[in-house]
Every structure is written in C-alpha cells, then in structure tokens.
Structure 1
Amino acid sequence: MSIAVLGAGAFGTALAISLARAERSVTLWGRDAGTISDMRECLENKARLPGIALPEALKFTADIAYAAQAQTILLAVPAQQLRQFLKANAKLFESKTLVVCSKGIDLETGTGPSALIAEICPTARIAILTGPSFAIDIAQGLPTALTLAVGGSAKALQTELSTHNIRLYSTADRVGAELGGAIKNVIAIACGAAMGAGLGESARAALMTRGFAEMTRFAVSQGADAATLAGLSGFGDLVLTCTSAKSRNYAAGLALGAGKLPPEGKTVEGIPTAHALVAAAEKAGCDMPISNAVSALVAGRCSVSDALEDLLSRPLKEE
C-alpha cells in the first residue's frame, strides 16, 4: 500500500525519509515544481534539511492528483493553510485516510484539523500524528515516540506508519491529541519570552506547569480526556518545545523577550494559534491567562514586563 506525504517542508520531508527507509512506497509532494525537481535530481532538500540524503526509493511529484492516488495521505501543510488546501482538493481526498501532521487551531473557525476534515472531506478517515519531535531528529534516524490518534481500530495504520526510529502509540482521542499539539506552541512562546527577558529557568518551569494546566483545562472543556494531555501529545510535546532552541515557537518567544522580531521565513504556528485559542476559550468560558498574555504580546498590545505584572497580580488560589 502506498503512502503520500503532502508538504515538502522540513517535517514532511523528514517523515517521507523515515518511511522510505523503512521500505514503504512513499511519494513526497510539494507545490513548487522547481524545488521538487531539484530534490529528485540532488536527493537533498537543500532549503529545509541541508546535508540529509534523501532515499533513492523516495518518489517526488508536484502533481497533487498523482500523489493523492495513495490511500494513506499525510497532510504536512501549515495548519493555517489546511482549510483552503482541503477545499481545493476535496474530490481527491474522498474515502482516503488523512493523517494530519501539522499543529494548530484554525484562526477562522477556532477548530482543530479533525473538525475541518469532517466538514470538508466527510468520507475521509481522520487521524492525527503528533507528539514531541523535531524534523532534523527524525531525518537523522534518531528515536522518536509519537501519538497516532484515530477513531476505530488503529492497529493497521499504526503498523503502516511506524518505522525503525518512529514508535507510535495509539489513542482514540483525536481532540485531546490535536489540542495538546496546538496549545503547547503558545506556551512555548511564553517560555521563550521569559528566558529572552532574563526571567530565569524557575519562571520557565512555572509557565510550563501552569501552561499545562491551561492546556488540560481547555482540552477537557472541548471533550478531550485529561489522560491524553498527560501523554506524548500533551506533556511530552510541551517539555520538548519549551526547552529546546530547535523549537520555532520557543525561538520566537526568545526574540520577543529580548525586544527583537521573531526570525523571518519560519512558520511559527503558536502566533495564530494564540489568537484562535483566546477567542475559543472565551466562547467556552475557560480561563487562559498565559494564552491571553501571549496573544497580547505577539500582537504588540503589551510588553513582557506588562504580561508578567498581569500574571503575578492575579488573585492567589489553590493549585
């Protein structure tokens, strides 16, 4: 059975590399025909994963219809582009297994990718692949454990997508898995801002802990199982993203905390997610002080010191 990875960014390419090394039949699709041609010729994604050799067995295409012939399709496009991408290709995705590999909350609707797919591609089988992982680690063959959230029996898909360096743990809680992966990016910006402003590691630990409480509180309000948030897709991803300089969201927070602009040319999903999360949390009546602070910070409505003062001046409460 063939697999298509749609999105030739760093993470999509890394997944395609790992699957191809595991002797799966894999096609990597990218929208830029020139980039795809270069990858086919040089067996390297020079822009996203320089120095990593692409397997010779990996197939490349800029033809979405050709790629979508696969039954299992991994969607590695940015979360804020997913709605339009699904709409543009809905016919091609009928009755396919769509595995979302991006993390975020749709800014237009305030929903996660599962709801978008259910709305736009109702005949598709929906799965979420998420958890603590960096593209470069996967591409280099380093061990990674991820969550595969899928309704119904997950065994066949779990087996199909597991490789020598990617170990998958299954769950039926798609909502919990996708919200954990989305919200941790917002908390990572907060942690980066604290470190960039010189507030120290104790402040970061506090933000991670209280951020995890926010993440769990909101996810449960949306029907998730709290136990899911304590796993790889929640706590595990939070730890990695809030402590590593490889994290785009953490790096963006570092820059903001130091009074600089986030690095250009990199997708920072936590920024639109923060705005979407604040709106969704208000609608749900869910208290999200750290997320509110991040939304205000990235929008330029407050400084790091202002956000810290607001958080510290909140009424004292039990943990």
Structure 2
Amino acid sequence: MIAVIGAGAFGTALAVAFASAGRPVTLWGRNAARMHAAEGSRTIDRLPDVTLPEAVTCTSALADLAHAETILLALPAQQTGGFLGDVAGKLPDVPLVLCAKGIDAPSLRLQTEIAGNAAPGHALAALTGPGFAGEIARGLPTALTLACAEAKRGATLQHLLSGPRLRLYLTDDVIGAQVGGALKNVIAIGCGIVEGARLGASARAALMTRGFAEMSRLGVAIGARAETLAGLSGLGDLSLTCNSLQSRNFARGVAIGKGAEIPQGTVEGVATARAACRLAAHHGIEMPIAASVADVLDGNLTLDAAMDALLARPLKEE
C-alpha cells in the first residue's frame, strides 16, 4: 500500500494516479469527511471531472498508514517541519518521499533536510518535476524526477511509483532536484507579473532564461549538479510553470501584474522568494530577478521600479 499525506490537489492527484495503475492507496487528510464534494461522493473538490478510484481509501487517522510501503508527503513546503515534528514516532519506518517544492523560510533548508532533522531514521527521497495536478489525475502523460541518494532504494521507489502514464526518472542529485523545483516557482511569479503587465513575450523569454541562470548559480553553489538543473526538475518544471495559469505561482504573478484580486491558495514561491535571496546572500550569489520578485511581493518595490532596476543593471557577457 502507498500512503499519501496531504489531500490537496497534488497529493490527491498522485493518489489517483497510483490507484489507476492498480496499487492500493491510503490518502490522509486532517478531515477525511471533507476530502470530497459531498459525503459518500467520489468526486473531488479541487480536481473537477476527476473521480476518486475505489482503490483509494481516505482517512484522518495516522494509524491507518501502518502498513504502507512508502509515504509521500504532499503538504505545503512551509508546513513540512511542523507536521513531522507533531507526528514524530507515529509514522511507520518506511521511506518518506517529499513532494513539496520550496525552501523552508526560517531555516533556509530544503525539504529533505527538514525531514532529516524532524524525522530521523527514515530513508528520504524527493519527487519533483513538471506535472500539473489536474493532468496527472486525468491520466495525461507526465514525466517527473525522483531523487534519492541511495541507488537501490531509489530504483525500488521508481518502480513502485511509476505507472503507464506517470514516468519517473531517477537521480541521486537530491539537492539539484529540489533547488530546481523550489526556485522555478519564484521565476514563475516574475513571468506571471510580466504577462499580467503586458510587457511582451520577449520580456518573458528573457526573464525565464536569466532566471534559469540564477537557479543554476545558486544550485551549483550549494552542491547541485548543473545537468540536473537542465533536466526535468529544473528547466522542465520552469518551462511548464512559467507558461500556464494552471500554475498558482504564475497566476499569482499575473494578478499582481494586472493589479487584480490575488487568487486564493498556497503559492510556494511567495515564501521561497525571500528565502532564496537570503540563501544566495549567504553564498555570495547574485540573484537580481529573485530579489526583484521578493521586493514586489513584500511591497518594497513597485512593478515599474523593479523593471527599471533590472534594466539599469550593468551590461555584461551572458
């Protein structure tokens, strides 16, 4: 049995995908009765036109996860440490697969680093890459990255979690996979701002490209491999997230650029933007795009001032 903790859109989508591939799944949420549109229904609030397979069992009792082969943690990135601290000793001793994409704001740690501290003894992996929840749940072809430092355990998880329409590529670069997944959210907010403000496709392409350079600089500085950042979990996820309103980060940026009402829901890039800037400063890395996004989000810069500051930077080689 595969356990998924977190009954939001992405956690539920993964549960649907695993169950559709013939694997029993237990989906844990804080209130199991609210996981569906109506009690007794198999429809899903956050995933229209998707039906929860019978192979998915919903629960709010951690004891129901006792027989899991692995646990996927699909909570928002800023909740990972607190949740694992609260349930310390209550989870079975099986691998934890971290699915959130973000840098912990107080500690500047990646998700596996947070889990290693809060849940010592568990084998750890990270699942990341370009995949929208709605598309995964509907069975559309998706390729993701599974990062695990232990080759044998990673291969076991790769075969357990892959399916006919969900293909997982394995890497041992746990840092690189997570850096790409976290920082692309920040660049996606910036690209959304460009789109909302109607600054043009050329400006968005430039922001994506230079944003990728920033991701790569910081990633390599903290131990990532450049080729990982050029793969699914970096460039692939960046390309997806910066070009669709299905991305909450891109949608948040579009609303900011338009001066419109901000959409509700967790937007991982908001907390990660300032955390990334602090981490970059610690390592002496320049990230002007991430800094501008953070300043706009914090209200320290207007959109026009941020754009002027970026365009006024000294000319240099690419």
- Normalised TM-score (structure 2): 0.97
Offset of 1:67 from its aligned partner? 2.1
Kindly indicate whether the alpha-carbon contact (under 8 Å) linking 1:194 and 1:304 is maintained by their aligned counterparts in 2: no
Cα distance, 1:94 vs structure 2 = 5.8
- Is structure 2 residue 208 aligned with structure 1 residue 219? no
Matched-pair contact (CA < 8 Å) for 2:62–2:91: no
- Residues 51-79 of structure 1: per-residue CA shift (max 9 Å, x gap): 21111121111112322541300001000
Q: Specify whether residues 88 and 251 from structure 1 end up closer, same or farther in structure 2 by C-alpha distance, changes over 3 A only.
A: same
1:39 Cα deviation after fit: 6.8
What per-residue deviation string (whole Å, max 9, x for no partner) do you get for residues 19-75 of structure 1?
A: 001111210111113214767721111x21122111112111111232254130000
Aligned-partner Cα distance in 2 for 1:68–1:201: 50
Tell me, in whole angstroms, the C-alpha distance in 1 between the residues paired with 2:126 and 2:314. Answer: 37
> What is the CA deviation profile of residues 163-215 of structure 1, one whole-angstrom value per residue up to 9, with x for unaligned ones?
11100000001110011000000000000101111100000000000000000
Secondary structure in 2 matching 1:210: helix
Task: Rate the CA distance shift 1:245–1:36 in 2: closer, same or farther, 3 A.
Answer: closer
Is the Cα contact below 8 Å between 2:80 and 2:115 reproduced in 1?
no
2:281 match: secondary structure: helix
Q: Determine helix, strand or coil for the equivalent of 2:89.
A: helix
| Corresponding residue to 2:131 among 110, 130, 133 | 133
Distance in 2, Cα, partners of 1:9 & 1:152 = 29
Residue 40 of structure 2 corresponds to which residue in structure 1? 41
* Mapped contact 2:36–2:43 kept (Cα < 8 A): no
Cα distance change of structure 1 residues 67 and 280 upon mapping to structure 2, 3 Å threshold = same
Question: What residue identity is the alignment partner of 1:13?
Answer: T
Q: In the alignment, what sits opposite 1:257?
A: 257
Alignment match, 1:306: 305
Output aligned runs, 1:130-169, within 5 Å. Answer: 130-153=128-151, 154-169=154-169
Superimposed CA distance per residue, residues 290-318 of structure 1 (whole angstroms, 9 cap, x where no aligned partner): 00000000111111111111101111111
Question: 2:8, 2:46 within 8 Å by CA — same for their partners in 1?
Answer: yes
Q: 2:71 aligns with which of 64, 70, 73?
A: 73
Q: Equivalent residue for 2:245?
A: 245
| Residue 293 (structure 1) aligns with | 292
Structure 1, unmatched stretches of 5+, are: none
Q: How does 1:64-213 map to 2 (within 5 A)?
A: 64-93=62-91, 95-153=93-151, 154-213=154-213
Q: Could you tell me whether the CA contact under 8 Å between 1:149 and 1:173 is conserved in 2?
A: yes
User: CA contact under 8 A between 1:184 and 1:238: conserved in structure 2?
Assistant: yes
CA distance in 2, matches of 1:16, 1:213: 34
Structure-1 separation of matches of 2:183 and 2:281: 15
Give the aligned CA root-mean-square deviation in angstroms: 1.3
User: What are the Cα deviations for residues 189-248 of structure 1, in whole angstroms up to 9, with x where unaligned?
Assistant: 000101111100000000000000000000111101011000000000000000111110
Preserved CA contact (<8 Å) 2:65 2:92: no
Q: Secondary structure of the equivalent of 1:127?
A: strand
1:297 counterpart SS class: helix
Amino acid at match of 1:274: A
CA distance in 1, matches of 2:269, 2:63: 31
Q: Against the structure 1 CA distance between its residues 136 and 37, is the aligned structure 2 distance closer, same or farther, given a 3 Å change threshold?
A: closer
2:280 maps to 1:276: no
The answer as to whether partners of 1:94 and 1:121 remain within 8 angstroms in 2 is no
Aligned length: 316
Contact 1:94 1:123 in 2 (8 A): no
The AA in structure 2 aligned to 1:284 is H
Partners of 2:205 and 2:37 in 1: how far apart?
Answer: 43
Residue 7 of structure 2 aligns with an amino acid whose one-letter code is A
TM-score scaled by length of structure 1: 0.96
